[in-house]
């Protein structure tokens, strides 16, 4: 029995052995799930339901339809004469499909596609490590091995070119969905048609707009025209409203025990919240280590959760990280 350009035996054996590390991880995951059913059945069922939510199912179905159409179109080209079908399916299922569910990072990480491609290319070192070592040891250039490596590199790049636009489009739609959800929950007077007319398919600008809409209230909807954050004359402004002040420090001070080492929501920048400082006042003290100095933030509403704290720290890193103290 043939499956495209391979026998069924070749197809399934290559799928198994070329992706052995992924199968091991999958087996461990299944064992954990089975143990979960034994130890905490209700929690495990809730976890599984959370995995198979509407978003997961919708994206999976769309991805399968898209890939199916692409693979069908490629059957009219020499594509399958060059690449093994098992390699194509293995890469799609075990690599690109799993990456799809973290491709929300496209919204804020300019190097995400490069990181994924680089990760997949590095994985080839693991696959061909033994063969490469043998070739080096015996100083014997194996043209078949070089062709196989070159073929796999080309396949990763080609599939990346095919799949990354789909990932991008999925998360453009996801950003619009989240923006619309915030508008409906907060009952904001914002027209989604005008939002689309302004931002279209610009994912990064949509992401920044979503952060604004998440923090605005109906009574100050006009503030959406302002910058989300602004640092000026040692004052911190959020959508035009003063929310605190900042002080430039050359170094981090020594802290007592009652601190929290935090990371921002998206880019994982580190910052420190000092709970002991300013005891009795209504300020929240946050220290942001940058390359050339430390920025101390004195934020209002100490007793309330600050839903903008993480975004503010990321803004500071993006805008001020390369500044020298004398430039501020």
pLDDT at 144: 78
Same domain, 62 and 148: yes
Residue 126 included in any domain: yes
Looking at residue 297, its pLDDT comes to: 93
Weakly modelled stretches of the chain, pLDDT under 70: 1-4, 217-220, 302-306, 321-328
Q: What is the reported pLDDT for 161?
A: 92
- Residue 58 in any domain: the answer is yes
Instruction: Copy the structure tokens of residue 260.
Output: 């929290």
Residues in the chain: 328
Please list the residues that pair with 296 across neighbouring strands: 247, 287
Sheet architecture: strand order including 283-289: 229-232, 235-238, 241-249, 294-300, 283-289, 270-274, 259-263
Domain count, the chain: 2
Residue 234 included in any domain: yes
pTM, rounded to two decimals: 0.78
Looking at beta carbons, which pairs linking 185-189 to residues 24 or more positions away fall under 8 Å?
186/213, 186/216, 186/217, 186/218, 187/218, 188/213, 188/216, 188/218, 188/221, 189/218, 189/221
Q: Does residue 290 lie within any of the structural domains? A: yes
Q: How far is CA 19 from CA 3, 26, 81, 177, 227, in A?
A: 18, 11, 22, 35, 47
Asked if residue 236 and residue 312 are part of one domain, the reply reads yes
Q: Is 103 exposed, middle or buried (0-12, 13-18, 19+ CB in 10 A)?
A: buried
Q: Is residue 309 part of a domain?
A: yes
Instruction: Provide the terminal-to-terminal Cα distance of the chain, rounded to the nearest Å.
Output: 71
Within a domain: residue 115? yes
Query: pLDDT value at position 200?
Result: 93
Q: Do 83 and 137 belong together in one domain?
A: yes
Same domain, 176 and 73: yes
105: DSSP letter: G
Which of 181, 212, 237 finishes a domain? Answer: 181
Q: Are residues 274 and 174 in the same domain?
A: no
* Residue that is last in its domain, among 181, 214, 248: 181
Domain containing 115 equals 53-181
One domain, residues 162 and 84: yes
Name the DSSP class of 93.
I
> Are residues 238 and 175 part of one domain?
no
Q: Using DSSP, how many helices (H) and how many strands (E) does the chain show? A: 12, 9
Residue 170 and residue 245 share a domain: no
Task: Please give the Cα distance from 289 to 250 (Å, whole number).
Answer: 10
Same domain for 175 and 241?
no
Indicate whether 206 belongs to any domain: no
Using alpha carbons only, give the angle 64, 65, 68 rounded to the nearest 5 degrees: 80
The vertex-26 CA angle with 23 and 31, nearest 5°, equals 125
157 lies in the same domain as 241: no
β partners of residue 244 = 236, 299
Question: Are residues 151 and 69 part of one domain?
Answer: yes
Residue 148 · residue 128 · CB < 8 Å:
yes
> Is residue 186 domain-resident?
no
In tens, the pLDDT along 149-186 reads: 888 889 999 999 999 999 999 889 989 999 999 888 88
Residues 58 and 171 in one domain: yes
């Amino acid at each position: 029995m043939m499956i495209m350009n391979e026998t069924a035996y070749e197809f399934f054996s290559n799928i198994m052995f070329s992706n052995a590390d992924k199968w091991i991880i999958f087996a461990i995951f299944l064992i954990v799930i089975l143990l979960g059913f034994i130890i905490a059945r209700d929690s495990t069922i809730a976890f599984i339901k959370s995995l198979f939510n509407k978003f997961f199912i919708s994206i999976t179905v769309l991805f399968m339809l898209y890939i199916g159409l692409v693979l069908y179109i490629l059957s009219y080209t020499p594509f399958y004469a060059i690449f093994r079908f098992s390699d194509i399916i293995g890469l799609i299922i075990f690599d690109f499909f799993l990456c799809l569910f973290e491709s929300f990072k496209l919204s804020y990480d300019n190097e995400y596609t490069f990181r994924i491609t680089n990760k997949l290319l590095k994985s080839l070192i693991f696959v061909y490590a033994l063969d490469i070592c043998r070739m080096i040891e015996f100083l014997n250039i194996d043209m078949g091995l070089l062709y196989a490596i070159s073929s796999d590199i080309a396949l990763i790049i080609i599939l990346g070119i095919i799949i990354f636009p789909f990932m991008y489009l999925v998360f453009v739609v996801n950003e619009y969905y989240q923006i619309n959800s915030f508008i409906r929950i907060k009952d904001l007077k914002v027209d989604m048609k005008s939002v689309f007319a302004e931002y279209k398919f610009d994912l990064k600008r949509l992401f920044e707009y979503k952060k604004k809409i998440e923090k605005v209230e109906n009574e100050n909807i006009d503030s959406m025209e302002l910058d989300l954050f602004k640092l000026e004359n040692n004052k911190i402004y959020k959508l035009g409203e003063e929310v605190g002040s900042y002080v430039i420090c050359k170094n981090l001070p020594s802290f007592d025990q009652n601190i929290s080492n935090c990371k921002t929501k998206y880019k994982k920048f580190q910052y420190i919240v000092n709970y002991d400082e300013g005891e009795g006042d209504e300020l929240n003290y946050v220290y942001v280590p940058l390359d050339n100095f430390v920025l101390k933030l004195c934020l209002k509403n100490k007793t309330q959760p600050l839903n903008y704290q993480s975004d503010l720290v990321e803004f500071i890193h993006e805008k001020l990280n390369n500044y020298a103290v004398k430039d501020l």
